[in-house]
Amino acid sequence: MKQTIYSKITGAGKKLFCVLIDPDKHQSDSIRQLTQQLKHTSLVDFILVGGSLLRKNNFENIITLLKAETDIPVVIFPGNTMQISSKADAILFLSLISGRNADMLIGNHVIAAPIIKEAALETISTGYMLIDGGRSTTVQYMSNTIPIPSNKPDIAAATALAGQMLGMQMIYMDAGSGAIQPISSGIIGAVKQEINIPLIVGGGIKDAKSVSLACKAGADIVVVGNLFEEKPEMVRVMADAMLY
């Protein structure tokens, strides 16, 4: 399988901005509103789709609609093994390396791998790390793992390095959707210093200043989700902040 999306990430030569869509929080109308906003900026590089717990059966419909409404690549950010679709451009093959839950480290991957292969989806092996963001999040509960404390940059850096040494292609550091505090510059900087694979940062980023701080600290890719569920018009403001 060609690594088209991963090549775009590593060859971009700039920081990248991602919009995360939780299919449970959207319907056709709100997706169209959001894609209208995406047309006002060329600075959204990828759309991530997924959620820790989906109660609606619209995951694939949302991806199909996004593909119809925009040219921006759609990458699955799966919360579980049910979130696989050949309609997407790629899938983050996530291993939750900050936790010690065997299903999240390898068990679910064994279940998903043949399905992903049959769907001919590009897989991007990603070390997924939860960092405490000031409150318990859905991903923390659903994954049955403890996030890395926000005052332990050494643990975060060693974990990311281990992910890289295991052959992972990217590290995604997440404070969890709706976190009170985004990941601090200190932790982002410590992890960035330790690895030379792309670093994704997300969770609790609600203003332009936090986008720019994450970039300056060393994030290669910044993800924002929650904010756009209420305020799709903020897409341009947040994406533009990547430049400052």
Task: By CB under 6 A, name the binding residues for ligand 1GP.
Answer: 20, 174, 176-179, 202-205, 223-227
Least distance (Å) from ligand 1GP to the CB of residue 106? 21
Q: Which residue is nearest to ligand 1GP (CB)?
A: 202
- Cβ-based nearer residue to ligand 1GP, 14 or 135: 135
Helix (H, G, I), strand (E, B) or coil at 3: coil
CB of residue 191 vs ligand 1GP: minimum separation in angstroms?
A: 15
Please, which residue, 25 or 39, has the CB nearer to ligand 1GP? Answer: 25
Shortest spacing between CB 200 and ligand 1GP, in angstroms: 8
Nearer CB in complex with ligand 1GP: 13/93 = 93
Nearer to ligand 1GP, 6 or 228 (CB): 228
- Calculate helix-pair angle for 28-38, 59-69, nearest 10 degrees: 30
Nearest CA to 60 out of 21, 33, 19, 34 is that of 21
Q: Which residues have C-beta within 8 Å of that of residue 108, sequence separation ≥ 6?
A: 80, 81
| CB of 147 vs ligand 1GP, minimal distance in Å | 12
Specify the residue, 110 or 141, whose C-beta has the smaller distance to ligand 1GP: 141
**Distance of alpha carbon 8 from alpha carbon 112, whole angstroms:** 24
Please report how close the Cβ of residue 26 comes to ligand 1GP at its closest, in angstroms. Answer: 13
Give 153 or 203: the residue with its C-beta nearer to ligand 1GP: 203
Rounded alpha-carbon distances, angstroms, from residue 235 to 85, 98, 105, 244: 25, 30, 33, 15
Residues making up the chain, counted from first to last: 244
Residue 117 beta carbon to ligand 1GP: minimum distance, rounded to whole angstroms: 25
Answer yes or no: are the C-beta atoms of 162 and 189 closer than 8 Å: no
Backbone φ/ψ region at 63: left (φ over 0), alpha (ψ -120 to 50), beta: alpha
